[in-house]
Structure 1
Amino acid sequence: MTAAYDDFAGAYTAENETSLMNAYYERPATLALVGDAAGRRILDAGCGSGPLFAALRDKGAVVSGFDQSAAMVAHAKARLGADADLRVADLTDPLPYPDAEFDDVVASLVLHYLRDWDPVLAEFRRVLKPGGRLIASVNHPMMINLTHRHEGPRPDYFEQYTWTDEFELHGEKARMTFWNKPLHAMTDAFTAAGFRIAVVSEPHPVPEAQELFPGDFEILDTFPSFLFFVLEAG
């Protein structure tokens, strides 16, 4: 996905600022699960252009962030300033942080790009303090069944497979490929990595989005696109 995000980094950054899915649904839900962030050391894993990093910093957190796309990190630096702790790093490699460095790791819409979660979760567990939290959002495992219900045979919920979709991001076409996992495969991976599942959340978009996105709001308000977890490191 590195090359893809480099190609449409500007369009993705602009879309993320005001879109229903990001600005009025995923980001508010993630911030609500983080709760009181004042004074907490938080790692924004897959930080993109930095909107979540900025929101966490505004809430008083001490934030570090990384993304595998250099173009996205460049947008984040432009937003957050030269003193922001931002790095280019790949989730599939060892993370460039010491053991037990963070109170929280936030992985916002990143795990569903990966086939194998085990090494990534092990690294998240390593950089978390004992009792620290992983707050993660991923594609809802039923979303593809809804999205593709009129496009041939219904996908097998229990299979793990890739699927590609095309999105319009601020006037540009972007193709993204995801790994579909059933819920039990996600929870099995979390517990095998040493996490305790504290919260599973299927939130609604924030109410003020109804006037801004009347048609899309109704769909999202009655069927979740994303699934959210709060996981505690043992």
Structure 2
Amino acid sequence: MKTSIIAAYDKLASDYEYNVDTKNAYNIHYERPAMIKLLPANLKNTKVLDAGCAAGWYTEQLVKLGAEVIATDISTEMVAATQRRIGNKAKVLNLDLENELPFPKESFDLIMSSLVIHYINDWSKTFSEFQRILKPGGKLLFSIHHPFMDFKLSKNKQYFSTELIIDQWERKGRLIEVPFYRRSLSEVLNKTLEYFSIENIIEPQPTIKFKSLDPLKYERLMSNPHFLIMKASKKNDDVELPGQHSI
């Protein structure tokens, strides 16, 4: 399963690098404006982990805002694309977010993860590691597929189960199979609350620019949410968390 995700994103890396940032309205005029709005205006001297950086769009924005950024991705092709984009302005690592992360305890002020965590089956290890490497009061900002959208792709129609979905994306006349995990809204919320305190839950709406580009898709998104954004903070260190450990 993991090898399938890596293979899919190795194939998609070129599209992300050269097309997504300028042509994909779902990214440019839907998810990204809502995520950026939740960031501090000034991130100078802030240590940020871009967890699942893809081709590095967020990495670049974070650097421009003054952050000290480490970016990671499981796809070596995405890592290469980010390195081409960012040069020596940020460190870029090839990492699997389901494994122990090579960072000391309390290393980061902010972890940002855009449309990545739904590719992970069990969030326990990932969230445990995120909690460990965040500083006291640190923030986690992540976006995922909206559970209501994903359920329409379900084959087993068991809403409360976590289900592997194989989606198909058309790119340059070819179909690429993209696997991810669907889960219920309650599972998303409760798993996050095991490790963090939730500050904001955002169901983003497309911008007016999106409407001018594609009125039909705009109306669809206004009545059928596709993404869900969560902003959370590290819990008090006095509270013992599942899987918590230090190095």
Is TM-score (shorter-chain normalized) higher than 0.5? yes
TM-score under structure 1 length normalisation: 0.91
Q: CA deviation at 1:33?
A: 1.4
Matching residue's letter, 2:182: N
Point out where structure 2 has 5 or more consecutive residues left out of the alignment: 236-247
Do residues 191 (structure 1) and 197 (structure 2) align? no
Do residues 115 (structure 1) and 117 (structure 2) align? no
Matching residue's letter, 1:196: S
Task: List structure 1 runs of 4+ shifted beyond 6 angstroms.
Answer: none
Hey, what's the Cα distance between the residues in 1 that align with 2:35 and 2:180?
20
Report if the CA contact (8 A) 1:190-1:197 is conserved: yes
**2:54 equivalent among 41, 48, 57:** 48
SS of 1:142's equivalent?
helix
Point out where structure 1 has 5 or more consecutive residues left out of the alignment: none
Q: How many residues were matched structurally?
A: 229
Q: How does 1:63-102 map to 2 (within 5 A)?
A: 63-102=69-108
The corresponding residue for 2:8 is 4
The corresponding residue for 2:17 is 13
Q: CA deviation at 1:70?
A: 0.7
Q: Percent identity?
A: 34
**1:38 equivalent among 39, 43, 50:** 43
Report Cα offsets for 1:51-102 as digits up to 9, x if no partner: 0111122222222100011110101111111342111111111112221111
The corresponding residue for 1:215 is 216
TM-score under structure 2 length normalisation: 0.87
The corresponding residue for 1:159 is 161
Question: Which of 129-138 and 77-86 deviates more?
Answer: 77-86
Matching residue's letter, 1:131: G
Report if the CA contact (8 A) 2:6-2:75 is conserved: yes
Matching residue's letter, 2:12: F
Report Cα offsets for 1:177-233 as digits up to 9, x if no partner: 11111111112211222x001111101012111111222122112221011101110
The corresponding residue for 2:238 is none
Hey, what's the Cα distance between the residues in 2 that align with 1:170 and 1:10?
11
Hey, what's the Cα distance between the residues in 2 that align with 1:7 and 1:210?
30
SS of 1:94's equivalent?
coil
Cα RMSD after superposing both structures: 1.7
The corresponding residue for 2:230 is 229
SS of 1:4's equivalent?
helix
Do residues 145 (structure 1) and 145 (structure 2) align? no
Report if the CA contact (8 A) 2:68-2:90 is conserved: no
Question: Which of 153-162 and 134-143 deviates more?
Answer: 153-162
Matching residue's letter, 1:174: I
Report Cα offsets for 1:6-32 as digits up to 9, x if no partner: 123112333421311111111111111
Report if the CA contact (8 A) 1:141-1:181 is conserved: yes
The corresponding residue for 1:28 is 33
